[in-house]
Structure 1
Amino acid sequence: MRRALERQRHILDFTLSSLARRRGRNLALLIVYTLVVFLLASVLFLAAALKREAALVLADTPDLIVQRLTAGRQDLVPIRYVESIARIRGVQAVEPRLWGYYFDSLSGATYTLMVSAALADHPGAILIGGGVSRRSEPGRPARPLGKGDVLPFKDADGGVLPLRVQGVFPAASELVTADLVLVSATDFRRLFAFPDGQATDLVVRVRNARERATVAAKISRLHPDSRPVLRDDILRTYEAVFDWRGGVIVLVLAGALLAFVILAWDKATGLSAEERREIGILKAIGWETSDVLLMKFWEGAAVSLCAFFLGVFLAYLHVFFTSSLLFEPFLKGWSVLYPRFRLTPQVQLGQLAVLFVLTVVPYTVATIVPSWRSATIDPDTVMRR
């Protein structure tokens, strides 16, 4: 056992000295290798973290959202649907929701307006998100809106509806409240000339989570013009969107990946004259073929593992401490009112395993194949070449 360890130590010493002799080439290889791992790991970490944040946000969403379709497009839902849906067995509660989008021509931003029961007795008051608070107007210095400030809206008749800010949502909720404005039902109906007896959609609470699909089917039969949307469907949609965007980024990075593949292929197809001569000398002084292969294995493993761990570490810092400056606008989405939030650091072992197999294993194997070819040739022939 001790003799085997000594053998390994001597081979490692020679491997490190061999890498040091070609430090310029190996350093360039390490930089390119680390960059590839960094880009791939950043995409994986960011997509997984965003899907986790979406799952946490959607955990409090309604069990069912009932929409109404007219000519294949979403339309207003009659509030009278509430009574018939509430009589379905398994339904715990049904509530109409009033919400919509408002384009602010001054700031060029689109707000999400939603009626809140907390403001029912406070017409003229609003609660705003952090993105709305940071809105800026051309020609005016940027100043965050705070409690007591007035935010003007243009109603459906062309008049101005001034609404006073009663509060700003905390920064921790900005992922879902960045562009949100909560208003009273009176102000909402006046702003959009919203008809009485109508709602944007209906929120349905189901007692048993396993009965959501059954309740949705009953609602579809009861109201053929309706479209029930399950919470699980919304979550799957978000996951598909983040997976799709992550895949698009990987395609954009295809040039860097192709360069790495070419580099690994060049490594696999042959050694330099200096490396072949070195192998011939080692064979001539008594090294066995297994010793040469072990040396080349440690050489490839040293470069690939250093690049892997360094790339993963830089990707971790990039995603969770700099908010992923390179890929954030694409994966999170683009908006004038951009949400500011810090992702929760989380790394899954499955992601690291996939990344390890895709980057470390191919390169390490690629360093052994040409070495085996040179090591099996007669030393005198190798040195003569």
Structure 2
Amino acid sequence: MGSYHLGRHLKILEFALSSMLRRRTKNLGLVLVFAALVFLLSSIVFLTGALRTEALATLEASPQLLVQRAMAGRHALIPLDYGELIARLPGVGSVTPRYWGYYYDIYTGANYTLLGIGDQGLESPGSTPLRLVEGSFIMPGQRRVCLIGEGVARVRGTRIGGMVSLRDARGWMQEYEVIGLFASPSRLLTNDLILLPEADLKAHFGMPDDRATDLMVEVYNPHEVDNISRKILERLPDARPISHAEIQRTYETLFNWRGGLLLAMFLGAMAAFMILAWDKATGLSADERREIGILKAIGWETSDILELKLWEGAALALVAFLAGVTAGYAHVQRFGSELLMPVLEGWSTLFPAIDLAPQLDPYALGVLFSLTVVPYIVATVVPSWKAAITDPDRVMRAS
């Protein structure tokens, strides 16, 4: 009995596929439009997921707690005395000042991040892990040298032994010899980075000796970070503690917002597809109505016709869905999401070359499936059910 029912379902499936081949032009058009929509939506899902993973990877080595100073609602240089006070708090391990800033290059239109390297080098807690690709690191006491990231080297067209010219706070052009090229596990935060000796960076920005850009705070117990932040605010009202968790949430919110912006941009395309799918699926042609009437006349049950149309709709929707998801994955993984990346990269003109690794998120794919495949199958079955419950003679006369 079981083999009989299985054979019956397979025969209906075979008939459904042959019926679809007879209307190949209409079905091919639907598959192309359907796959294009799924391609756009899946590209957005894969891209935002890959960028979120990339951003979180950059934050793994970030300090447990950053302390900045706010003045008039803006980031201001923080006194080194603040670090001495914070270091005396119970539970605080070390406090390390950081010296960094942004530099706009009028010649290339790129924004660089300049970071000062002290005698500790890159061994201080919370420092970004860097891998030297070529050359050497900055040694203690070394001056007028720099290390540059891959993006800066590409834009400036320079390598080891070349010179990087930067205009300082006094308007004078300063030259630094490139002694090393570095890379990072993630290029999002280091592609535009230039490392300078700490003394050179302070002179470049005109920083006072008793000021730093911010303070990196190491906390012995990670669960006490919020308590340490509260104590810092009690003693230093103009301080702004930023925990590792807060930075993570900020990045996640940023990419969720930009991903939502992209989805909103293509909401009109999705609505247009739904209208097209409904029009194509509900507008049964005369041949389709005649086919249903003949099948009813030769003894097919209403359930058989519904199964036939269910197979047709499911086959078309699944082929289009798989094609769209595969194309979306390849677009992000193979081609770096060239169509969508400019919207999510940010405001800089110096974009990192990121090797995106999209993740197959079952939840996201399930939502995408339910928003595209399920409505189409429903739109296919409902009009067929209406035709199937009508008298065969009336159906064939009407067609």
Same fold (TM over 0.5): yes
Aligned 1:38-117 pairs, distance under 5 A: 38-117=39-118
What is the SS of the residue equivalent to 2:189?
Answer: helix
Give me the whole-angstrom Cα distance separating, in 1, the residues matched to 2:213 and 2:389.
76
CA distance in 2, matches of 1:184, 1:350: 47
Matches within 5 A, 1:265-280: 265-267=278-280, 269-280=282-293
1:373 partner SS: helix
**Cα deviations by residue, 1:157-176 (Å, 9 ceiling, x for unpaired):** 22221110110113754322
Partner SS, residue 155 of structure 2: coil
Q: Partner amino acid for 1:107? A: T
Q: Indicate the SS of the match to 1:169.
A: strand
1:189-208 paired onto structure 2 within 5 Å: 189-208=202-221
Q: Distance in 2 between matches of 1:291 and 1:18?
A: 14
| In 2: Cα distance, 1:332 partner to 1:168 partner | 23
3-state SS of the aligned residue for 1:115?
strand
Give the alignment partner of residue 121 of structure 1, picking from 121, 141, 150.
141
Q: What SS is found at the alignment partner of 1:131?
A: helix
How far does residue 266 in structure 1 lie from its aligned partner after superposition? 2.2
Instruction: Give 2:13's aligned residue.
Output: 12
Structure 1 residue 270: Cα displacement: 4.3
Listed as ranges, the matches of 1:274-289 within 5 Å are 274-289=287-302
- Pairwise mapping of residues 212-231 of structure 1 onto structure 2 (< 5 A)? 212-231=225-244
Alpha-carbon distance in structure 1 between the residues aligned to 2:169 and 2:54: 36
C-alpha distance in structure 2 between counterparts of 1:185 and 1:325, whole Å: 37
Identity of aligned residues (%): 50
Q: Classify the secondary structure of the residue corresponding to 2:194.
A: strand
1:1-385 equivalence runs, <5 A? 1-117=2-118, 118=121, 119=138, 120-136=140-156, 144-170=157-183, 172-267=185-280, 269-385=282-398
Aligned residue identity for 1:368: V
Q: Which amino acid aligns with 1:343?
A: L
Q: CA deviation at 1:89?
A: 1.4
CA–CA distance in structure 1, aligned partners of residues 184 and 327 of structure 2 = 26
* CA distance in 1: counterparts of 2:68 and 2:16, whole angstroms: 67
Contact persistence 1:171–1:341 (CA under 8 A): no
Q: Which runs of 5+ in 1 are unaligned?
A: 137-143
Displacement over 4 Å in runs of 4+:
267-270
CA contact (8 A) 2:57 2:186 kept: no
Distance 1:29 1:345 in 2: 27
Kindly provide the amino acid, as one letter, of the partner of residue 65 in structure 2: L
Output the CA distance in 2 between the equivalents of 1:189 and 1:172: 28
Q: Is the 8 A contact 1:90 1:208 kept in 2?
A: yes
- In 2, are the aligned partners of 1:284 and 1:379 still within 8 Å (CA)? yes
1:65-113 Cα distance to aligned partner (Å, 9 max, x none) = 1111111111110000111101111111111111101122222222111
CA RMSD after TM alignment: 1.4
Contact 1:267 1:366 in 2 (8 A): no
Note the C-alpha offset of 1:242. Answer: 0.9
Is this contact kept in 1: 2:58–2:185, CA < 8 A? no
Following TM superposition, by how much is the alpha carbon of 1:347 offset from its aligned partner in structure 2, in angstroms?
1.1
Separation (CA, whole Å) in 2 of partners of 1:345 and 1:270: 38
Q: CA separation in 1, counterparts of 2:268 and 2:5?
A: 43
Q: Which amino acid aligns with 1:124?
A: R
